[in-house]
Structure 1
Amino acid sequence: MDDVIFTADCEKCFGLCCTALSFERSSQFGHDKLGGEPCQYLASDFRCRIHERREDLGYGGCEAFDCMGAGQRVSAAFAPLNWRQDSGIARRLHARFSQLLALQELRQALETATRLDLPSDLHTRRLALLRDVAEDADSLTVDVTATGQAVLNEGRTFLRGLAGSVIA
């Protein structure tokens, strides 16, 4: 598996995990936060003001989360847009981040499937899905895409179908 594809680079991200996602106060998060709103500890430079003390302050969920590289991909695509001043652009940014996060999760599952002893037709289909995921996930598209949604649907169906092949 190519770790570069799945490595989050927080230095190249707008703190999307701290803005786009929601969480509820729990043992993993010290306060409630709605999706689309910045975390109260997110600084203006998109860095965490409590980074070194997250776990001690009850934010172990932040430590556990990994966007698998979706954050820097979306941030690069939206960099020239004024998403801070335009809530419509910000909503598009958050929606695309959610889609790319799902695409990265699918990509990782399809990569992990290389460890399976798949028949050649399933292996060929897995490779085709990986190409489709890469085409959408690695583009600088700024909107949720129909092709991304289609490959997510196809990929999930493919992975569910593998269960029968692996168990048999």
Structure 2
Amino acid sequence: MSAEKPPTAASDPAELRADCGRCFALCCVAPAFAASADFALDKPAGTPCPNLATDFRCGIHDRLRERGFPGCTVFDCFGAGQQVAQVTFAGRDWRSHPELAEPMLAVFPVMRSLHELLWYVTAARALRPGDPLDGELDRARDRLVALTESTPGQLRTLDVDALRREVNPTLSRTGDLVRSRGGRAGVDRRGADLVGADLRRVDLRAANLRGAYLIGADLRGADLHLADLTGADLRGADLRGADLTGSLFLTRAQLDAARGDRTTRVPATLGRPVHWTHLPLTPVTGPGGGRRPAAGTRRPGRRRG
């Protein structure tokens, strides 16, 4: 009898959620860190974080924020880590097989981009936009799933940016259609610079906030029903009393990067970040209440779909 094939995103949607126990700490090795409010030190790409233990576990996992690593707490690989570790490289780790370190670390960011796109397509399909978008989303999902099962060599040559340009229009049209279901689409602030903005009195229902900079923005009590939050940067945004239960394309990483409390309403599928109940709400430093990330650093709260 042949060995059971590891589950993939094609067979199990849970594979679009990170399972660190089945990964080899790829997110602690592959990316570069720049010393900032998000990371306490500089780390070159491809170098293991000094907090990484020999068993691939983080030595300060339960106190990352206190030790100056909030960027780690909001990073989401969308299940790419276990896909690379268990499927692409068949369970072989980079420590036992050092010859695999370079190709494995090179493949990881490509797989993460694929899984991120696959997460957005799956979320869009769940909105049931109707024909012809249903068909376009199904075809996009099938193609993305097939690409996640590619060989390391095929993954390394994949043009992820071109793939995003192909898929993004369908995702954007899905968001626009769903936003208009309430009778009207809200304000269009896609890509807007709203760093530190006071948005408590702004009507954000069914708003287009794709890619908006909401770092340190005041969203207390905001109604974000049907608001498209694809890629919106919510780091340090004050979400106390806000209602995000009907928001579109909201990720757990965005919630983890923001600030909220027990009055913040979030989708049951995402849950409430633990640190919301343990950390005080303090102002975010920088002009206008927010701070932009340094050029070239990883932006943990910002996602592209």
Question: TM-score, normalising length from structure 2?
Answer: 0.48
Three-state SS of the structure 2 residue aligned to 1:130 is helix
Unaligned runs of 5+ in 1: none
Question: Which is higher, the Rg of structure 1 or of structure 2?
Answer: 2
CA contact (8 A) 1:103 1:152 kept: no
- Structure 2 counterpart of 1:134: 145
Change (3 A) 1:122 1:81: same
Q: Matched residues, percent identical?
A: 33
- Structure 1 counterpart of 2:133: 122
Are 1:60 and 2:73 an aligned pair? no
Q: Which letter does structure 2 place at the counterpart of 1:26?
A: S
Q: 2:81 aligns with which of 56, 63, 71?
A: 71
Three-state SS of the structure 1 residue aligned to 2:36 is coil
Three-state SS of the structure 2 residue aligned to 1:120 is coil
- Structure 2 counterpart of 1:26: 36
Task: State the alpha-carbon separation in 2 of the partners of residues 124 and 35 from structure 1.
Answer: 39
Question: TM-score, normalising length from structure 1?
Answer: 0.82
Q: Which has the higher helix share?
A: 1
- Structure 2 counterpart of 1:40: 50
| Misfit runs of 4+, over 2 Å | 77-89, 114-119, 139-146, 148-158, 160-168
CA contact (8 A) 1:16 1:94 kept: yes
Q: Which letter does structure 1 place at the counterpart of 2:162?
A: N
Task: State the alpha-carbon separation in 1 of the partners of residues 152 and 47 from structure 2.
Answer: 19
Q: Which letter does structure 2 place at the counterpart of 1:123?
A: D
- Structure 2 counterpart of 1:109: 120
Q: Which has the higher contact order (CA 8 A, sep 6+)?
A: 1
Are 1:153 and 2:162 an aligned pair? yes
CA contact (8 A) 2:85 2:92 kept: no
Count the aligned residue pairs.
165
1:10-25 equivalences in 2 (<5 Å): 10-25=20-35
Segment drifting more, 73-82 vs 8-17: 73-82
